[in-house]
Structure 1
Amino acid sequence: MLRSLEIRDLLIIDRLELAFQPGLNVLTGETGAGKSILLDALGFVLGWRGRAELVRSGADQGEVTAVFDLGADHPAHAVLEGAGLPSGPELILRRLNFADGRKTAWINDRRASGEVLRTLSETLVELHGQHDDRGLLNPRGHRQMLDAFAGVDTGSARAAWTRMARARKAETEARAALAAMQAEEDFLRHAVAELDSLAPEPGEEARLDISRRTMQGAARIREDIARAHQALSDQAAEGMLRDATRWLEGAAGKGSETAEARLDSALAALERATLELGEAQGEVEACLAALDFDPQELERIEERLFAIRALARKHGVLPDDLGGFADDLRARLASLDGGAANLAALEAEMQAASTDYAKAAAALTAARMKAARALDTAMAAELAPLKMERALFETLVEPGEAGPDGVDAVSFTVATNPGAPSGPLNRIASGGELSRFLLALKVCLTGGTPGLTLIFDEIDRGVGGATADAVGRRLAALAAGAQVLVVTHSPQVAALGAHHWRVEKRVDAGMTTSRVVALSATERVEEIARMLAGDTITPAAREAARALLV
């Protein structure tokens, strides 16, 4: 329930505080007094999109604060919890509009976005006028309204629709991929066979290149090393050292002490040279063994190295990536080989989802047909007290375009007189009839919503006399179990209000402002008399006003 509304520096309101009550609250006043400004202010604090410029001329900012009382089971608690905002028995909404157009909002003293405000407002307030700015006249919203009226759950149909859409997309993509792979099947099979035959390994190209360079280098230096080995052999340096040693030993043994003493040093040097020569010969032989290779092996290495490099150039990859590239081609080939089976599985999934969707959509259609009959019955009961017992309201549930919420097109139609053709609300009904149709529809559609404040903006426009009285009595009956705010020009409706405010405009020092005054019993007589008689209030008008207030 809306408990209070405080407005500061908004349009022609400098400061205004209103304390609303349960039951039927009526606001009256002359045209242009500012009644619509109150609704603009309430819509602003609730996050509704409205006027772009709301700040009062000369002010830096405009501010609106609304306080609501929430019951323990009020749906606003779930919205607050979902947004991470504190909730309790009292809900305080505050929103600022700065002169430069910026807007800032708080919910229970926590900063909040306009989107959260709008979501929250759907659980707090229902605003309705003859021109139905909330969509009752728009057939595109009638199915959602019927579902809300009946509590229809579209979850199964939505889930099946999502599955069906995903399966259809997967099937389309798989079919396109299969067609693309079939177009390159010959290439894939040849390329995989070629890569499997060569079977290159990561790092192999580098290893082969090193081996090839080593063998090529060995071929160039081995001949010189072989000559050096020959020079160190028995037929060359080694043999000559042995001959020299033998000759000197023979000379030293011929009895010349002088020669023997001198030759001992030479023989020792030759022994050392022979040892060094043996070591050198061993190292040279080892080098020759290391440089020894099979020319056919070099040829084999070169052939494989050139084959790897040629295949890498052919496919535009690095030699070390040929293995991974081959794996990708094998995977594509496997997909091609299993493509038909995969496509069949996707088609089966698509069929299963379609079957589930058809069942869910059929269940929705049955539920909506049942709900349509219930709504028509409820509307007939509501129209009778509004002096429209001869009118016919009918909810049509017809085949429509398939979608997440089923295959039904729902529209509300009316016939104002027996035998008259039915048609859309806004085309068939006159202004006064439309007001009553929409009032009855609003009552039926929101009757089960707990804690909702209903606001009717001139819903009684175009009706008068007994019809206006009937509208007022229906509003009063509706307000018996809820809070109803009515902006009205009808004295019959105003007289039935439990709480009455008058909106009036005044000019002080050249500044126009609007204010709202709570009326006493005496003041109500004067206000309703004004609504009956106009500018000149006669005694007869006062008597008529008192009669209405009885």
Structure 2
Amino acid sequence: MITALSIRSFLLIERLDIESADGFTALTGETGAGKSIILDALGLVLGGAASKKLVRKGADQASILAEFALEADSPVWPILSDAGVEASADETLTLKRILSAKGPARAFVNDQPVSAGLLSQLGELLVEIHGQHSASTLMKPANHRALLDTYAGNEDLIEACAQSWDDYESARDSREALEAKLAEAEEEHAWLAETVEALDTLAPEKGEFDRLSAERGILMQSEKIAESATEAFEAFQAGDVETVLAQASRSAERILRIDGLDTMESDLSKAARAAAEALDRALIEAGEASAALESLGLAAVHDPDALERVEQRIVALRTASRKYSVDADELPAFWEETRQKLELCDAPDGSLKKARSEEQAAAARWRTAADRLTKARKAAAKRLETSIAAELKPLKLERTRVKVRFDEISDSQSGRAGREKAEFEVETNPGAGFGPLRQIASGGELARFSLALQCVLAESTQVPVLVFDEADQGVGGAVAAAIGERLARLADSRQVFAITHSPQVAASASSQWLVTKQGVKGNGLGETHLTGLDASQRHEEIARMLSGSKVTEEARAAATRLLEDV
């Protein structure tokens, strides 16, 4: 809902601050007092067209600020988030528009600069203005199908239709991708066959190139390795290390066998045992070293043939790598991919037949879901037409008829939301034929028609603020009372404002504002003011609306009856 509206230097308004409440508020006052100017200011802050002519004469700029309190699930919040505007449902939302007498207009949301386009997008979700020159959401054919679906409660059917359409698109994309692969494979069949045959012969293995490169490096050094191994073994043997260690070990054992030494705990006995144990270990290690050197000498044999075989394999892998423009280590994966393409080309019927069958089944499921949605829409359209007709009669629009026209969309155009478009059409005079809603020319008729639609679609539209500009134009008595009753009914679920000259409509409101115009100032301009009326002031204003310039006691009595009847 709108919680506050501040207007500065806008046409006849020098300074105006409005704090509003929920429910139904009537704006009344003499013709020319400036009621429509307040409406123009509201339209401007909601993204309407800007003009320097709207700046009050003598002022440098005009500014309009509107403050809103919105629910956490309002569609406004994700739009602001996507636009990078910081906003929270825990706080009020502030829209601001500044018009400069010399420079460009500027727009702000929560004091953050934004485009007028964003304001307009937000405005359509926040406020609907119904009147002679306004094009509300209800008047836009692009919104009619969604309104009908909400009225019908088609959410589950739409979700099922959307899911089946997504499945159908996925199956279609898979079939098209498979056909593209087949076409590509058929064009390349000869090359694929030749490539697979060559790679079958080569049989590259994963990681083979890196392994062969390392093996090649070792084989190239094998002669040096063999020479070094032989040299080490011969040096070990020439030193007769094992013989020397064996002799020293026997000598240490003889020392330990001296009587009494093995039972003593002296430094001598400890040193003798340590020496004997060390010599035993050294003798064992020497034997192992001798055996290891001998094995190394046997293993480190220079093999020119093995080196040649490895180099030939590396050359073969490199040649294939260059030929097929892939890294040598990627040859196994390329081999498998090429084989799959060849198999697809050689036996396409099965896989393509399966893909086509799956696509046809998905398309059939979507058409079934779309047909259910179509049936529900057409049934709801009949109920909607009947409900609107019932609302139009008390509003003196009994000659006006409404119908929902459906236009089927081709499969190539349809999708997640079904197979048809829906548009509300109107016939203003019997036999004149149905046409778009915008053909309702009279401002009062348009506002009353919008009111009837809003009453029927009250649960289908989510806009929290409704503004009606002289919906009572050209009517009075029972019709005006019917308008007031419907405005009050709409205010049960949202905030409603109505500019009215009808005392019956004003009496139906929960609050009332009086718009007045004061005398000409030094700059040659009058000034518009707005005053919230208390109970007694409201009674007097409704009496004025009943009697004219001179308020009579009869008018006051009639005003009392109107207010009591509400």
Q: Which TM-score bucket, shorter chain as reference? A: 0.5 to 0.7
**Cα 1:333–1:161, aligned 2, differ >3 Å: closer, same or farther?**
same
Show the counterpart of 2:10: 11
Determine which of 405, 408, 418 is the counterpart of 1:399.
408
Show the counterpart of 1:366: 375
Please state if 1:127 is matched with 2:129.
yes
Q: Point out the more displaced range, 406-415 or 305-314.
A: 305-314
Question: In structure 1, what is the Cα distance between the partners aligned to 2:444 and 2:220?
Answer: 103
Determine which of 448, 453, 456 is the counterpart of 1:441.
453
Show the counterpart of 1:143: 145
Question: In structure 1, what is the Cα distance between the partners aligned to 2:50 and 2:441?
Answer: 33
Q: Which amino acid aligns with 1:166?
A: S
Show the counterpart of 1:242: none
Question: In structure 1, what is the Cα distance between the partners aligned to 2:355 and 2:524?
Answer: 73
Show the counterpart of 2:541: 524
Determine which of 334, 338, 342 is the counterpart of 1:325.
334
- 8 Å CA contact 2:543–2:556 kept in 1: the answer is no
- 8 Å CA contact 2:392–2:398 kept in 1: the answer is yes
Show the counterpart of 1:49: 47
**Cα 1:113–1:416, aligned 2, differ >3 Å: closer, same or farther?**
closer
- 8 Å CA contact 1:130–1:438 kept in 2: the answer is no
Show the counterpart of 1:464: 475
Question: In structure 2, what is the Cα distance between the partners aligned to 1:103 and 1:544?
Answer: 50
**Cα 1:477–1:384, aligned 2, differ >3 Å: closer, same or farther?**
farther
Describe how 1:76-225 pairs up with structure 2 within 5 A.
76-77=72-73, 87=89, 92-97=92-97, 101-106=105-110, 125-153=127-155, 154-200=158-204, 201-203=208-210, 206=213
Please state if 1:64 is matched with 2:49.
no
Q: Which amino acid aligns with 2:523?
A: G
Describe how 1:275-290 pairs up with structure 2 within 5 A.
none
**Cα 1:313–1:121, aligned 2, differ >3 Å: closer, same or farther?**
closer
Question: In structure 2, what is the Cα distance between the partners aligned to 1:439 and 1:80?
Answer: 24
- 8 Å CA contact 2:484–2:506 kept in 1: the answer is no
Q: Which amino acid aligns with 2:8?
A: D
Question: In structure 1, what is the Cα distance between the partners aligned to 2:359 and 2:168?
Answer: 6
**Cα 1:26–1:436, aligned 2, differ >3 Å: closer, same or farther?**
same
SS in structure 1 at match of 2:496? strand
Question: In structure 1, what is the Cα distance between the partners aligned to 2:362 and 2:476?
Answer: 58
Please state if 1:350 is matched with 2:359.
yes
**Cα 1:321–1:516, aligned 2, differ >3 Å: closer, same or farther?**
same
Show the counterpart of 1:222: none
1:288-333 deviations in Å (ceiling 9; x for gaps): x967856xx7876676555444433322345454444334423433
Q: TM-score if structure 1 supplies the norm length?
A: 0.68
- 8 Å CA contact 1:422–1:428 kept in 2: the answer is no
1:441-466 deviations in Å (ceiling 9; x for gaps): 121111576994432123344x2345
Deviation at 1:505, TM superposition (A): 4.2
1:110-130 deviations in Å (ceiling 9; x for gaps): 999999988887776443223
Question: In structure 2, what is the Cα distance between the partners aligned to 1:23 and 1:309?
Answer: 82
Show the counterpart of 1:251: none
**Cα 1:205–1:495, aligned 2, differ >3 Å: closer, same or farther?**
same
Q: Point out the more displaced range, 373-382 or 34-43.
A: 34-43
1:2-21 deviations in Å (ceiling 9; x for gaps): 4x424053634444232435
- 8 Å CA contact 1:164–1:354 kept in 2: the answer is yes
Question: In structure 2, what is the Cα distance between the partners aligned to 1:30 and 1:63?
Answer: 23
Deviation at 1:102, TM superposition (A): 4.7
Question: In structure 1, what is the Cα distance between the partners aligned to 2:511 and 2:147?
Answer: 31
Question: In structure 2, what is the Cα distance between the partners aligned to 1:96 and 1:27?
Answer: 22
Q: Point out the more displaced range, 380-389 or 203-212.
A: 203-212
- 8 Å CA contact 1:24–1:475 kept in 2: the answer is no
Question: In structure 2, what is the Cα distance between the partners aligned to 1:102 and 1:39?
Answer: 19
**Cα 1:356–1:123, aligned 2, differ >3 Å: closer, same or farther?**
same
Question: In structure 2, what is the Cα distance between the partners aligned to 1:115 and 1:175?
Answer: 44
Show the counterpart of 2:231: none
- 8 Å CA contact 1:7–1:65 kept in 2: the answer is yes
Determine which of 457, 476, 481 is the counterpart of 2:492.
481
Unaligned 5+ residue runs, structure 2?
Answer: 225-296, 562-566
Deviation at 1:85, TM superposition (A): 6.5
**Cα 1:458–1:78, aligned 2, differ >3 Å: closer, same or farther?**
closer
Show the counterpart of 1:514: 528
**Cα 1:494–1:508, aligned 2, differ >3 Å: closer, same or farther?**
same
Deviation at 1:132, TM superposition (A): 4.5
1:272-303 deviations in Å (ceiling 9; x for gaps): xxxxxxxxxxxxxx9xx967856xx7876676
Deviation at 1:474, TM superposition (A): 4.2
**Cα 1:419–1:489, aligned 2, differ >3 Å: closer, same or farther?**
same
**Cα 1:168–1:36, aligned 2, differ >3 Å: closer, same or farther?**
farther
Unaligned 5+ residue runs, structure 1?
Answer: 219-285
- 8 Å CA contact 1:28–1:487 kept in 2: the answer is yes
- 8 Å CA contact 1:125–1:453 kept in 2: the answer is yes
Show the counterpart of 2:436: 424
Question: In structure 2, what is the Cα distance between the partners aligned to 1:198 and 1:146?
Answer: 67
SS in structure 2 at match of 1:446? coil
Q: Which amino acid aligns with 1:528?
A: M
Q: Which amino acid aligns with 1:455?
A: V
SS in structure 2 at match of 1:94? strand
Q: Point out the more displaced range, 417-426 or 189-198.
A: 417-426
**Cα 1:380–1:140, aligned 2, differ >3 Å: closer, same or farther?**
same
Q: TM-score if structure 2 supplies the norm length?
A: 0.66
**Cα 1:85–1:317, aligned 2, differ >3 Å: closer, same or farther?**
closer
- 8 Å CA contact 1:472–1:494 kept in 2: the answer is no
SS in structure 1 at match of 2:426? strand
- 8 Å CA contact 2:128–2:137 kept in 1: the answer is no
Question: In structure 2, what is the Cα distance between the partners aligned to 1:449 and 1:505?
Answer: 35
Q: Which amino acid aligns with 2:341?
A: R
Question: In structure 2, what is the Cα distance between the partners aligned to 1:366 and 1:472?
Answer: 34
Determine which of 408, 416, 427 is the counterpart of 1:415.
427
- 8 Å CA contact 2:466–2:496 kept in 1: the answer is yes
Question: In structure 2, what is the Cα distance between the partners aligned to 1:448 and 1:136?
Answer: 11
Larger radius of gyration: 1
**Cα 1:97–1:114, aligned 2, differ >3 Å: closer, same or farther?**
closer
Question: In structure 2, what is the Cα distance between the partners aligned to 1:442 and 1:35?
Answer: 23
Q: Which amino acid aligns with 1:66?
A: E
Show the counterpart of 2:320: 311
**Cα 1:63–1:484, aligned 2, differ >3 Å: closer, same or farther?**
closer
**Count of residue pairs brought into register by the alignment:** 460
SS in structure 1 at match of 2:138? coil
Q: Which amino acid aligns with 1:171?
A: R
Deviation at 1:186, TM superposition (A): 1.7
Question: In structure 2, what is the Cα distance between the partners aligned to 1:328 and 1:152?
Answer: 47
